[in-house]
């Protein structure tokens, strides 16, 4: 193919395709040139096809960072490289048009604006039934608003969180006892302990089901279902970005989802049926003493739910209520092992407030500000959802950071990048809980310098329950044990972003009971 430019009186450049020397038909050559131009467009081909005249700055081509186990770091590096550090960067993944915010101001515009009130529904999320649960249901849908209202009133509201203190305390004490048994045999694989406690907690809180040991057939099945669902939602699926691949299911995501959903329908359906039978036999619980299943079964009229919707909602509760607390606590404990001085300071606070030989009560947490600062600093350094787990979707055209973002654009917030930006945080790579003694920063969504649970109408509804559980359990573990590195003598802080930001190497450490000193 020969490219010839003509000048003279012509106003444009002509591409002369000479058939005598070109091995390509003219149409193919034109299409190839168009593809190259699309590929080289700022933001990549998906933005070029959008017709947006002034997209935010961004790399050309197709970005594959989202398939990386450290996608948050890769996107942060790309954002820094664009125009000296773009607060809003555009990029393409297949035919998906995306923007990512790496600054508190543009993050607020995305998270708080009604224009970004929906979420893009991943293929796995749809086949796992989550499009009918709070995570992915459309924000303009009465079904979604009703679910948020019910969850706030009967599960995540302040009264309910306070009322569930006995669950938290009891399960935390049981977890600490499990640590004692394991520690007598050797080192403690803490991830396994924390995940089991989190799963027991959500089952007790939402379903009034209590497991002394998850090593039963039902408990094992439950853990397997949660793990498989977590892996499926965390899998980067090209079918989400190239529509043709949805029908081919080359990665097998849809097949795995369908197999899992059949198990979920049986498992959760059995719980619903048990509650129905209890209610029909006269054991009807009121809104104070009943659990969330009772609340859903008590809905009437237009609010009444089909069993399929109840299964979707309850399955999401199990799924999302398990990973966040367990993953956050593993990072906290890793930091305690790495920083014995900080651990000692937290234990001194516990000794002063609670004393030795007495268990930590939920009511004690309010008097443990340093432990709360440790949790905040861990959320800053290791946010469980560095990209806020699930992205937003532009419902209509919106302005963000002075740029026009077209409807249908997927918008992400890189909370990890914001929390590690030296222009936002002093010494961002240093783990220093004292920074939150110097400045009280809310993590609940009002301050976008640190909003690990999101903000706006899609903020995580369970944030208060997650924090209450984490604060208490960390206090219980630090109160009873001295934590030290395993035989290798170090802790690997390498990350792996699945659906949440996990430790790539699960934490294994030593737990030594603290000497009981009578007052």
- H-type helices in 67-189, by residue range? 71-81, 104-112, 123-127, 142-154, 158-163, 165-185
> Which residues are annotated as part of the binding site?
460
Give the residue carrying structure tokens 């029908």.
247
In whole angstroms, give the CA distance from residue 43 to residue 297.
Answer: 48
- Which residues, 6+ apart, have CB-to-CB distance to 436 below 8 Å? 372, 373, 376, 377
Is residue 202 within 8 Å of 317, Cβ to Cβ? yes
- Which residues, 6+ apart, have CB-to-CB distance to 505 below 8 Å? 492, 494
Is residue 257 within 8 Å of 242, Cβ to Cβ? no
Backbone angles phi, psi at 101, to 5 degrees: -95, 135
- Write out the two tokens for 325: 């607390």
Q: What is the dihedral of CA 120, 124, 128, 129, to 10 degrees?
A: 30
Go through the chain and tell me how many residues it has: 519
Measured distance between the N- and C-terminal CA atoms of the chain, rounded to whole angstroms:
90
Give the residue carrying structure tokens 């935390």.
172
Q: CA nearest 515: which of 480, 473, 477, 485?
A: 480
> Which residues are annotated as part of the binding site for heme?
460
Residues facing residue 100 across a β-bridge: 89, 412
The secondary structure of the chain in percent helix, strand, coil, rounded to multiples of 5, reads: 50, 10, 40
Is residue 86 within 8 Å of 52, Cβ to Cβ? no
Mapped onto helix, strand or coil, the DSSP state of residue 412 is strand
In whole angstroms, give the CA distance from residue 144 to residue 132.
Answer: 8
Backbone angles phi, psi at 89, to 5 degrees: -120, 135
Q: What is the largest CA-CA distance in the chain?
A: 99
Q: What Cα–Cα distance (Å) separates residue 227 from each residue in 175, 221, 418, 446?
A: 20, 10, 29, 32
Backbone angles phi, psi at 282, to 5 degrees: 100, 0
Q: CA nearest 265: which of 100, 406, 127, 173?
A: 127
The order of strands in the sheet holding 88-93 is: 88-93, 96-101, 410-413, 392-393
In whole angstroms, give the CA distance from residue 128 to residue 257.
Answer: 6
Residues facing residue 98 across a β-bridge: 91, 410
């Amino acid at each position: 193919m020969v490219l010839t430019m003509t000048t003279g009186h012509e106003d444009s450049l002509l591409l002369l395709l000479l058939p005598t020397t070109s091995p390509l038909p003219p149409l193919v050559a034109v299409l190839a040139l168009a593809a190259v131009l699309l590929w080289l467009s700022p933001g990549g081909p998906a933005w070029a096809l959008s017709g947006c005249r002034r997209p935010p700055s961004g790399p050309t081509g197709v970005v594959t960072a989202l398939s990386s186990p450290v996608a948050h770091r890769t996107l942060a590096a790309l954002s820094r490289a664009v125009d000296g550090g773009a607060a809003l960067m555009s990029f393409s993944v297949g035919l998906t048009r995306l923007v990512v915010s790496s600054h508190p101001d543009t993050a607020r515009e995305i998270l708080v604006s009604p224009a970004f009130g929906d979420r893009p529904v991943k293929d796995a999320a749809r086949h796992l039934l989550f499009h009918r649960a709070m995570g992915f249901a459309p924000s303009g849908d009465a079904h979604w608003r009703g679910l948020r209202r019910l969850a706030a009133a009967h599960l995540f509201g302040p009264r309910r969180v306070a009322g569930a203190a006995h669950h938290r305390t009891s399960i935390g004490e049981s977890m600490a006892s499990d640590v004692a048994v394991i520690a007598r045999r050797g080192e403690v694989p803490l991830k396994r302990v924390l995940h089991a406690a989190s799963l027991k907690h959500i089952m007790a809180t939402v379903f009034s089901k209590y497991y002394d040991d998850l090593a039963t057939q039902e408990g094992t099945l439950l853990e397997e279902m949660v793990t498989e669902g977590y892996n499926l939602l965390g899998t980067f699926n090209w079918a989400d970005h190239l529509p043709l691949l949805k029908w081919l299911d080359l990665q097998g995501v849809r097949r795995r989802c369908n197999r899992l959903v059949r198990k979920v329908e049986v498992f959760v359906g059995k719980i619903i049926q048990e509650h129905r039978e209890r209610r029909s036999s006269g054991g009807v619980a009121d809104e104070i003493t009943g659990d969330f299943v009772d609340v859903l079964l008590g809905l009437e009229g237009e609010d009444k739910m089909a069993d399929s919707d109840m299964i979707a909602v309850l399955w999401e509760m199990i799924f999302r209520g398990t990973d966040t607390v367990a993953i956050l606590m593993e990072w906290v404990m890793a930091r305690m092992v790495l920083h014995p001085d900080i651990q000692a300071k937290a234990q001194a606070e516990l000794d002063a407030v609670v004393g030795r030989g007495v268990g930590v009560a939920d009511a004690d947490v309010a008097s443990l500000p340093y432990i709360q600062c440790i949790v905040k600093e861990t959320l800053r350094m290791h946010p469980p959802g560095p990209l806020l787990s699930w992205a937003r979707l532009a419902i209509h055209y919106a302005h963000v950071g002075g740029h026009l973002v077209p409807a249908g654009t997927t918008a992400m917030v890189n909370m990890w990048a914001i929390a590690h930006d030296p222009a936002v945080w002093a010494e961002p790579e240093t783990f220093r809980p004292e920074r939150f003694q110097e400045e009280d920063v809310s993590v609940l969504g009002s301050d976008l310098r640190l909003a690990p649970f999101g903000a706006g109408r899609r903020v995580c509804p369970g944030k208060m329950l997650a924090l209450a559980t984490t604060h208490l359990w960390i206090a219980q573990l630090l109160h009873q044990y001295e934590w030290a590195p395993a035989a290798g003598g170090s802790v690997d802080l390498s990350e792996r972003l699945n659906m949440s930001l996990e430790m790539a190497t699960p934490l294994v450490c030593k737990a030594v009971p603290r000497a009981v000193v009578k007052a």
